[in-house]
Structure 1
Amino acid sequence: MKDQSFPEIRSTCPYCGVGCGVRLRADGNGGLDVRGDPDHPANFGKLCSKGSALGETVGLDGRLLSPRIHGRDASWDEALELVADRFRDTVARHGPDSVAFYVSGQLLTEDYYVANKLMKGYVGSANIDTNSRLCMASSVAGHKRAFGTDTVPGTYEDLEEADLVVLVGSNLAWCHPVLHQRILAAREARGTRLVVIDPRRTASCDGADMHLGLAAGSDAALFNGLLSAIDAAGAIDDDFSAHITGMQDAIAAAALDDDAATGLTRAQLDAFYKLWIGSRRVVTVYSQGVNQSTSGTDKVNAIVNCHLATGRIGLPGTGPFSVTGQPNAMGGREVGGLANTLACHLDLENPDHRAAVHQFWDSPVIADTPGKKAVDMFRAVGDGRIRALWIIHTNPAVTMPDADAVRDAIAGCDFVVVSDITAQTDTARLAHVLLPATAWGEKDGTVTNSDRTISRQRTALPAPGDTRPDWDIIAEIGRRMGHAAAFDYASPAEIFREYAALSGVAGTLGRDFDISGKAELGDSGYKTMAPFRWPFTQGRQGGRFFADGQFYHDGGKGRMIPVRHRAPGSTPTADTPFRLNTGRIRDQWHTMTRTALSPRLSAHLAEPYLEIHPTDAARLHISPADLVHLHSPHGRAILRARLTDAVQPGDVFAPMHWTGETAPAARIDALVAPLTDPVSGQPESKASVVSVARFDPAWYGFAVSSQPLSPDSAYWARARTRTGWRAEMAGATLPQDWENYARGLFDLPQAQAQVMLDARRGRARIAFHHDGKLLAALFAGPEPVALKREFLATLPGTAAPDALTGHPPADRPDPGPLVCSCFNVGLNTILAAIEDQHLMSVEAIGTALEAGANCGSCRPELAGILASALSKEAAE
């Protein structure tokens, strides 16, 4: 029975921009019970696999609990004084643009606000940018060009009220599963149609009415084709067009594009155009497949143009809808966390806006030119223009394009500060000063989700060790740099009130973001504040934008932007013939500093991989489970091959989560070209060019251990299990002595060894025991080792005298590879239930096993398993 002695606390999930509400209850032992909040308007109690596993990620394993200077523990006073001195001295010697902050959508809005205020109003530089630059800057730029400000027009309810939902470059089923389930529920309830536009066939295509597998980067050609079709069909809304400028120029530009560039057939194009034009209520949801491009802003405007031309915006069930990848990417946009913006959607380059913020803050200076955007920021770090750098809750040594060059730039910087919850990241290991911050579950503040809903994150666990909230750390630096009064904050509630008051100033300047109705909120009101959607003023609360034809450009009209299709910035060559697409997987998050702590999230896809089409694989003599070597002009990687027709010939896909901590040879962003959109500065992470070749190691291996292991081999990837760790390995040279190699691998010089060697076949199996319990085991051979990996992963710490067989005994069923993370249901369990219980649908599998009955993100995989099983049964 769960401990009811601790109160249940309402908070918000720290993962994607859906912003799901959660209810948290401490267990008294440092852990949390987590469930979805049935009253939160984003999720109504639903959680995805990651949210459901949050309770497994809050322990102190690997936590940074005290400040460190050059690797040694230090006091807060010493660390903060050093940081303040170095930043102050660097500014004095080299000017304000010689320092920079690189921050994160993991920050709460109050943290973001203080950091932005310190850099832009007191250091006097706009060199503060956020990792949200990597995911939604093109959407910001597209919104500002079309609407006059960065406004998301619609709400999540539109997904349920639409006649047609179009997903563009968005694998919603895996990346925003709760929203995807809302769409599927609408399909069931009212027949909503679903179209997926993506070069890959993803989980979001399951059950869709149409999948358009267009050529990489051709989204603008497709939506220009749609705009031309809208014009030809007479579907332009003449009444709404009175509120729009640039329509004829946009239509003329669209007519110059050839939608054959999409690679789609005429029949596919015409069917999509007819469906879109014939559906009065249309929501076009887009994400990284649109934004992460050298023409991302133009793609956004190509989509928005179609909605403006038809007046399908601001009304129930209509509009372009950008979904964000981080929990507070929207909060960062609102608070001016980007290098080219000011707080509350005010424009850095507008002198009236600068003056208003300058006066409100009563600051000594105000930044008057845009700062360095992320890619340019790290170039400036690399060439010495930026000499002091503060990185907060992000891992750019892994996540930035050309990641090796970024890692080297950070390593060579004069002074680097990293605020994080762990010292065990690629970036944290490069810091001169590490500052221990509180983590999710320990923090207090607000976040904004993708539909403008502001929710509270609340403290459910005590701050461990010497950790401190980010706003407190940043404010203390501000005080020590000589600005005591400006940063004399006692609580996040006080910061929120100041921020809300500034938004009122923005409102008087005609900005959309205005939550001044909360400016007088007391501490108790902040403590109990329910989710609300902005704007929130005396005259308006929430709602949609632009149905009334009122926009934020001078003159009050919206703008259609003439755009043309442009090919991706990198062109395939004979040396680099493949187009590399990167993205996320279902159960992991960013660089896995949180999700990798959960054994069940680590079990579904336990190592990095490359999706490659079977025809390409055959030509390159690549077989399933082979390792492959990728090269680009910027870096290299080794990944496990997954042969699938989900990618097109000539395209490959790799996830971006693995790091130097989890799979050093698989840091995929090291291969990505540092090319950016000229308007937004967002990198093109979906279309770099690479070569692919089979990697032929001297040996392959699989290991399980009760303790962490970091193999010394050409390739390795480790993942947490419920009893310890598992690792895939491959080596370029054979060890001279397998037992000695294994002892070094596991750091077990004296443990009892059980050894099976087959020198003729080049195979070795070695297990170490103590007091009758398995400590670790290594299985190696000249080809990928065939074993029951999920079974072996359960053995460390147990009596396992027969571990070296690699297979479970007859009286112990093997659940097989994990399929449903929410309920820990494996492939073999599912297959057995299909056969024994004669299950004929995914719903029946859910009833029998619960698999697929929570977030639904495994339902496409269940459907494939069921179809294969029924097909096999029919053949027999």
Structure 2
Amino acid sequence: MSMRTTCPYCGVGCGLLVSPDGQGGATVKGDPDHPANFGRLCSKGTALGETLGLTDRILSPQIGGKPADWETTLDLVASRFQAAIRDHGPDSVAFYLSGQMLTEDYYAANKLIKGYIGTANVDTNSRLCMASSVAGHKRAFGSDTVPGTYEDLDTADLVVLVGSNLAWCHPVLYQRLVAAKKARGTRIVVVDPRRTATCDSADLHLSLTPGSDAALFNAALVALADRGAVDRSYVAQHVSGFDAALAAARASDPGLTGLAPGDLAQFLDWFTTTDRVVTVYSQGINQSSSGTDKVNAILNCHLATGRIGRPGMGPFSVTGQPNAMGGREVGGLANMLACHLDLENPQHRAAVQGFWASPAMPDQPGLKAVEMFEAVATGRIKALWIIHTNPAVSMPDADAVAAAIKGCDFVVVSDITRTDTTRLADVVLPATAWGEKSGTVTNSDRTISRQRPFLPAPGQARDDWRMIADVAARMGWADAFGWTSAAEVFAEHAALSGIAGHLGRDFDISGLAQADYDALPPTRWPVTAQQQGGRFFGQGGFFTPDGRARMLPISPRLPVAQTARRYPFRLNTGRIRDQWHTMTRTALAPRLTQHIAEPFLEIHPQDAARLGLAPATLARVTSPQGAAILRVAITDRVQPGQVFAPIHWTGDTAPMGRVDALIAPVTDPVSGQPESKAAVVAIAPLAPAWYGFAVSTGPQHPDATYWARARHSGGWRSELAGLDRPETWEAYARALFDLPDAICLSVEDRMRGTHRLALMHDGCTLAALFIAPDPVQLARGHLAAEVGRAGASLLAGRPGVGTLDPGPTVCACLNVGLNTIMAAIAAQSLTSVEQIGAALHAGTSCGSCRPELAAMLALSQPPLARLKQAAP
């Protein structure tokens, strides 16, 4: 019997059909009836069943790293927060929340800290990804409203993807767009300094200067005005500020974009002559010190043309977390109240406080994320509660944030597994995980979906809303937090939204206050007697005092050129296809680590040659904030002077690969969102004395200058490198694998400087270590598959004659490797991605590997055929 629930990863909000096996596992499929995905899943969603289990789970409360009972722990938490408030005031405490929380959990936390503790020092990791979009929406619309829906991607004639690698970060939406292109001829433009997998389907890639997006959309606004594409009637009836916005755009220099004149002209031609335009934007816009202005530059263009809130047209912000939208709806940010009400509006504050019958309500915004951890560092915050996020890794200037958390008087962390952040906490609370807890999430197009439990809560784990209510009760507010189920929390939230609706706000789901919570289908808000779902602003109706949208004058600002001579490179950060956030879930699925198993640095060939960097070697990357060591990937996907690195690795998986340790805490002055796409860095070769690769059936305990650890289906694998050689490789291997009594077989090639060691028991290799003076070249997939089964033959490092090493995984959904694909292309004369899919099924699920399949086909063609393909 399958159960309907919702994926716990990105903001697409895919529906799932889950069938528990009764032994703690489950099979997971896409829900064909869910309007977000219609049965499609990405590689991460497809592998969800492999992430279930109790590996590394926190199963009991902990005080000072030791197990404790709930009563003692909750009493301690309540008393320490009460003491901080008594001695230093309510602003001495803070909550740091997460888009992984369910709406009900978010609501409970917001009610406690704002309505009862009386401080607005509550923020969320959504500040790191969507705050600029929120701020831009509020400046233009008077509310944080996403005007359109996913259906607009199906009917648009032009889709502009700005700062969004949709193919890897939102694969299900990307495939929906690709299907529209195939069926309707939808044009796709990608605006991104880096050439990403999304560019594979683009009709035009605008590789603009980092941070110059506002200059591009100012040029678009000027072109719209000069070519008669402004909807004068819509502007006259529904918009203010047009003349000032256009004047600022005319004063803007399109040359800031660095684009070739022909490419810019092509974009402006399409943008001005196409009515059905959707502009999809994401972190490349938001994660900027001028992110809010970039958002408003985009919104200006849609407001000027009236291309908003109608089928196939509008600006569209896509979110990176499963409940970034739900957190915004309950006021999870430091400058908001629940139900899109405004903290600084006296009428709104009075309405929320009256509904809650609460003793206090702050009248000023609290500390935003970067400010919050600066206050922790200086001692202004005495008690901190972090829920389902890992700021010691994910915040900018991550090393300083980790030090601040470690030095805080009292830190509580609620989470499901041990992380860099839980290790710094005084108290750790064991939370229920996806599949164990009940609640709702809201996706990027305002659709509320249920997450339903299909597994029992393990150990002493509790739901977050319950933990929050338990602490609130001990602080003297039991009646206000006396819920007995998540359904009751949701009903209260829905009822409060009705008050917001009467105050003229956009978020109103009062029609769900009495709904059957268990049976609630995916439902797009608003849900009232007057409106159910749909779009906003097609006929005006903005949430400003006069009902008119605001166009803003935007003067583009490029990222600050900090110490450019010492730190000459711009670092762009982002996600990879098969991992999510700090990998606490995705790293549990071995197939998701086989595509990209370690942190890397993309660098242009010209820069690599000048610095003396060779492929697959290691580079030391430094910034004014910190340092990292990353594997070198030489590619023209990035422009000279620019580099790219992914964000996912932690102290558990690659301690020197923590990329946010490099990021300066520079923020947008309006939104408070950090600049995560344009850090200044210097790069130099690491020049290790040795490189290594380790594979084992059991745990590994790396001790090296650089290491990156990942799971495989039968154990662990690690990449290693060191500046100093150990005294003996045998002693090193025994300590690495914790196999002091195993038989050690060692092979040394003094001429080449290589060492190969196998630690064996009863003729079977339990672990193997390969050492070389250069990056180790081995059949890693073969070794991972054979360790624990093969004998000394494993030291060959490659499969025997007649056995194919599948190679690195390309299609993670169906676990198809690079060598398997290349062999099929050669043996079966495959010439298209569709033929590869028919032969191997690769690329037939989420489709995010299709750009790689196309690149492999191009490489497999004879030189003459490649020249013909490249010819105009």
Give the TM-score normalised by structure 2: 0.99
Q: CA deviation at 1:489?
A: 0.6
Letter in 1 for 2:415: D
Where 2:807 maps in the other structure, the secondary structure is coil
Which residue of 794, 810, 814 maps to 1:819?
810
Aligned: 1:869 with 2:860 = yes
Distance (Å, rounded) in 2 between the aligned partners of 1:194 and 1:655? 25
Cα distance in 1, alignment partners of residues 492 and 762 from structure 2? 62
Report the equivalent of 1:285.
Answer: 280
Is residue 2:170 matched to residue 1:176? yes
Q: Could you report, residue by residue, the CA deviation over 1:97-132 in whole angstroms, capped at 9, with x for unpaired residues?
A: 100000100000000000000000000000110000
Match in the other structure for 1:492: 486
* Per-residue deviation, 1:757: 1.7
* Structure 2: distance between partners of 1:708 and 1:606: 16
Q: Whole-Å Cα distance in 2 between the matches of residues 778 and 565 of structure 1?
A: 53
Q: Does 1:459 align with 2:450?
A: no
Specify the alignment match of 2:870 in structure 1: none
TM alignment of 1:35-434, pairs within 5 A? 35-242=29-236, 243-423=238-418, 425-434=419-428
What SS does the aligned partner of 1:86 have?
helix
Q: Secondary structure at the match of 2:233?
A: helix
1:17 aligns with 2:11: yes
Structural mapping, 1:361-760, within 5 Å: 361-423=356-418, 425-521=419-515, 525-571=516-562, 573-760=564-751
For residues 836 and 335 of structure 2, the distance between their equivalents in structure 1, rounded to whole angstroms, comes to 51
Write out per-residue CA displacement over residues 456-484 of structure 1, whole angstroms, 9 at most, x where no aligned residue: 00001111111001111111111111101
Alpha-carbon offset, residue 872 of structure 1: 5.3
Higher mean alpha-carbon deviation, 200-209 vs 789-798, is at 789-798
Q: Can you list the C-alpha shifts for 1:528-569, whole angstroms capped at 9, x where unaligned?
A: 010010000012100000011110101110110111100113
Equivalent pair of 1:138/1:682 in contact (CA under 8 Å)? yes
The CA deviation at 1:736 is: 1.5
Q: Unaligned stretches of 5+ in structure 2?
A: 868-872
1:520 deviates by: 1.9
Q: Give the AA of the match of 1:438.
A: T
Equivalent in the alignment of 1:4: none
**What amino acid maps onto 2:326 in structure 1?**
G
Q: Name the amino acid aligned to 1:510.
A: G
Provide the C-alpha distance between the structure 2 equivalents of 1:872 and 1:773, rounded to a whole number of angstroms. Answer: 45
Select which of 770, 773, 788 maps to 1:779: 770
Shift of 1:874: 5.1
Q: In the aligned structure 2, how far is the partner of 1:184 from the partner of 1:758?
A: 52
2:559 counterpart letter in structure 1: P
The residue matched to 1:802 in structure 2 has which SS?
helix
1:237-280 deviations in Å (ceiling 9; x for gaps):
01100110000000000111101000002211111001011111
Q: Which residue of 2 aligns with 1:3?
A: none
User: What secondary structure does 1:716 align onto?
Assistant: strand
Query: Contact 2:758 / 2:792 at 8 angstroms: preserved in 1?
Result: no
Query: Is the 2:858–2:866 contact (alpha carbons within 8 Å) kept by the matching residues of 1?
Result: no
Amino acid at match of 1:190: R
Report the secondary structure of 1:324's partner residue: coil
Q: Cα–Cα, structure 1 residues 572 and 209, in superposed 2: closer, same or farther, change >3 Å?
A: farther
Q: Partner letter of residue 380 of structure 1?
A: A
**Structure 2 CA distance, aligned partners of 1:741 and 1:536?**
63
Letter aligned with residue 706 of structure 1 = T
Q: Give 2:22's match in structure 1, choosing from 28, 39, 55.
A: 28
Task: Give the CA deviation at 1:761.
Answer: 3.4
Counterpart amino acid of residue 289 in structure 1: G
Question: Partners of 2:863 and 2:713 in 1: how far apart?
Answer: 33
Q: In the alignment, is the contact (CA less than 8 A) between 1:63 and 1:421 conserved in 2?
A: yes
Taking the aligned partners of 1:869 and 1:432, their CA distance within structure 2 comes to 56
Query: Larger deviation: 563-572 or 781-790?
Result: 563-572
Deviations 1:316-352 (A, max 9, x none): 0000000000000000000000000000000000000
Which is worse superposed, 797-806 or 584-593? 797-806
Runs (5+) with no aligned partner, structure 1: 1-6
Deviates more, 1:533-542 or 1:571-580: 571-580
Aligned AA (2:200) = D
Structure 1 residues 263 and 875, CA, compared in 2 at 3 Å: closer, same or farther?
closer
Superimposed CA distance per residue, residues 177-210 of structure 1 (whole angstroms, 9 cap, x where no aligned partner): 0000000000111111100000000000002100
Matched, 1:848 2:843: no
1:673-693 CA distances to partner (integer Å, 9 max, x unpaired)? Answer: 100000000000000100011
Report deviation, 1:873.
8.6
Aligned pair count reads: 866
The DSSP-based 3-state class of the residue aligned with 1:729 is: strand
SS in 2 for 1:794: helix
Q: CA deviation at 1:758?
A: 2.6
Per the TM alignment, residue 15 of structure 1 is displaced from its structure 2 partner at its CA by 0.3
TM-superposition CA deviations, 1:563-598 (whole Å, max 9, x none):
110011343511100000000000000000000000
Q: Secondary structure at the match of 2:129?
A: helix
Cα offset for 1:870? 1.3
Q: Is the 8 A contact 2:169 2:577 kept in 1?
A: yes
In angstroms, what is the RMSD of aligned CA positions?
1.0
Q: Deviations over 1:615-640 (max 9, x none)?
A: 00000011100100000000000000
Deviates more, 1:454-463 or 1:571-580: 571-580
Equivalents in 1 of 2:420, 2:862: separation in Å? 46
Which residue does 1:765 correspond to in 2? 756
Secondary structure in 2 aligned to 1:600? helix
* Distance in structure 2 (CA, Å) of the matches to 1:810 and 1:418: 53
Residues 27 and 872 of structure 1, relative CA distance in 2, 3 Å threshold: farther
Stretches (4+) displaced over 4 A? 872-876
Deviations 1:757-807 (A, max 9, x none): 234433211001112222100000111111111111112221332011101
- Contact 1:572-1:579 at 8 Å conserved across structures: no
